[in-house]
């Protein structure tokens, strides 16, 4: 696997994702361990995209439990239907939240978090994991993030 990422810094968000996603494929290729892969993916996303907080919550029994992440410490357990992550789980759909204070039941792990995107991943037709990305700016995520992060989740599902 490659030892470092190459991300041009003078390009659009879409171009950064276009450069990043094949490199993530290279990072996880041939490595079956889930924790190792999720850890490198969180690090690559933070490094390439400059996200404030990026990480995974994994479905364990009736809760989401904090998995590999990059950023400030975070809530460890979230129940189904609670907050943005729990809603992505119960609805099985990406949640794009421009203002977290306007999202009913948002769970504030950090008061610096202002906007958020959460993408669910599936195993055997059920949500098994969510990717959560937080920003300290309002309305920092859009359909471009949704498109590429959903594409990334399809790669993640292959090793779950
Ligand atoms: N804000 C999330 C909780 C997780 S943290 O942002 C890392 C939510 O409402 O589900």
Instruction: Please state the atom number of ligand 1 nearest to the C-alpha of residue 55.
Output: 7
Question: How many structural domains does the chain have?
Answer: 1
- Is 69's pLDDT higher than 80? yes
Domain assignment present for 102:
yes
List the domain range (segments joined by +) for residue 59. 13-157
Q: Which of 63, 65, 85, 101 to probe ligand 1 with, by most ligand atoms within 8 A of CB?
A: 85
Domain assignment present for 83:
yes
pLDDT in tens, 30-61: 899 999 999 999 999 999 999 999 999 999 99
Instruction: Tell me if 106 CB under 6 Å of ligand 1.
Output: yes
Instruction: Tell me if 51 CB under 6 Å of ligand 1.
Output: no
pTM value? 0.96
Domain assignment present for 34:
yes
Domain assignment present for 5:
no
- Is 86's pLDDT higher than 90? yes
The DSSP call for residue 102 is G
**What does the pLDDT average to over 62-74?**
97
- Is 7's pLDDT higher than 90? no
Domain assignment present for 2:
no
Q: For 114, what's the count of Cα atoms within 13 Å in the CB-facing half-sphere?
A: 10
Domain assignment present for 20:
yes
Domain assignment present for 1:
no
Cα 79 from chain centroid? 18
Q: Give the H/E segment covering residue 155.
A: helix 143-157
**CATH of residue 39:** 3.30.450.40
Instruction: Tell me if 145 CB under 6 Å of ligand 1.
Output: no
Residue 35 and residue 111: Cα distance in Å, rounded? 28
Domain assignment present for 141:
yes
pLDDT level of residue 133 (50, 70, 90 thresholds): very high
Percent of the chain with pLDDT over 70: 99
């Amino acid at each position: 696997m490659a030892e470092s990422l190459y991300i041009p810094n003078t390009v659009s968000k879409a171009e950064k994702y276009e450069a990043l996603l094949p490199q993530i494929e290279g990072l996880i290729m041939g490595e079956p361990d889930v924790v190792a892969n999720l850890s490198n993916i969180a690090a690559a996303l933070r490094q390439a995209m400059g996200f404030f907080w990026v990480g995974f919550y994994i479905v364990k029994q009736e809760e989401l439990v904090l998995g590999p992440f990059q950023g400030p410490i975070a809530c460890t357990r979230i129940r189904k239907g609670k907050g943005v992550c729990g809603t992505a789980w119960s609805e099985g759909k990406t949640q794009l939240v421009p203002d977290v204070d306007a999202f009913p039941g948002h769970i504030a792990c950090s008061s610096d978090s202002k906007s958020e995107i959460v993408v669910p991943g599936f195993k055997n037709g059920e949500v098994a994991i969510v990717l959560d990305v937080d920003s300290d700016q309002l309305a920092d995520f859009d359909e471009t993030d949704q498109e590429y992060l959903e594409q990334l989740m399809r790669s993640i599902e292959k090793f779950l």
